[in-house]
Homo-oligomer: A and B are copies of this chain.
């Protein structure tokens, strides 16, 4: 069975690299590539590959959003996330949005082939490193914040005091203090400084 593979990545070098890695594979039919999300979607209006290798960072929209969109419009197309970043949040979001796998750009030809053939069969494949990253966390679990807490967090990080945040949100400063208290607890942070640092690291700011 021949698998039709399409690539979405804005880096020519990566596209070339993958083409080069796959060109001698008999079971792979090189279907083409796109360098951004919109041309990918346009392509899919006319032709459907079996598997799309999709970068997470695209110029016009994130691969994470594109993944969701493609899966909704074309459920027969399986998607493998492709990224330099071995980040828990990215992998998680990609899989949540219907991806069949996640491969790092330092993957070997073998890993890539495994991922493609698994995806073509509708199965799931995660590269070793990616699956480790996905499962190890819970120590670095990102706290779930309420809408209000996020608002307060942003303003605090911008240097506003409780009183100033309160004025901005039309609530009492003691309420802001409570939110701050809850934020510190959720992040297990010692004080505002480490709270802001952690929030930035989790990319919540």
Q: Is the CB of A20 within 8 A of B16?
A: yes
A106 to B200, CA, bound (A): 27
- How many of chain A's residues have a CB under 8 angstroms from any CB in B? 39
Write the A4-42 contact mask toward B (1 if CB under 8 angstroms, else 0).
000000111111111111000000000000010000000
Q: Does A107 contact B (CB under 8 A)?
A: yes
Given A158-B194, A194-B157 in contact, is the A12-B21 Cβ separation under 8 Å? yes
A159 sits at the interface (CB 8 A): yes
Complex CA–CA separation, A11 to B105 (angstroms): 5
- A106 in complex: contacting residue of B10, B21, B106, CB < 8 Å: B10
Asked whether A87 is an interface residue with its Cβ less than 8 Å from the other chain, the reply is no
Q: Contact string, A101-121, partner B, CB cutoff 8 A, digits 1/0?
A: 000111111000000000000
Set of chain B residues within 8 Å of A200, measured between Cβ atoms: 196-197, 200-201
Minimum Cβ distance to chain B for residue A171 (Å): 19
* Inter-chain contacts of A189 with B (CB < 8 A): 159
Beyond contacts A15-B17, A19-B20, A158-B194: 8 other A-B pairs, Cβ-Cβ < 8 A, are A11-B105, A11-B106, A12-B17, A12-B21, A20-B20, A156-B193, A159-B190, A197-B200
Residues of B within 8 A of A109 (CB): 12
* Closest Cβ neighbor of A21 among chain B residues: B16
- CB-CB contacts below 8 Å: A171-205 with B: 189-197, 200-201, 205
5 A-B pairs with least C-beta separation: A159-B194, A17-B17, A13-B17, A16-B17, A159-B190
Cβ of A62 within 8 Å of any chain B Cβ, yes or no, is no
Q: List 17 A-B contacts (CB under 8 A).
A: A11-B84, A11-B106, A12-B105, A13-B17, A16-B16, A16-B17, A16-B20, A17-B17, A17-B18, A19-B20, A20-B20, A35-B106, A57-B84, A159-B194, A159-B195, A192-B193, A200-B200
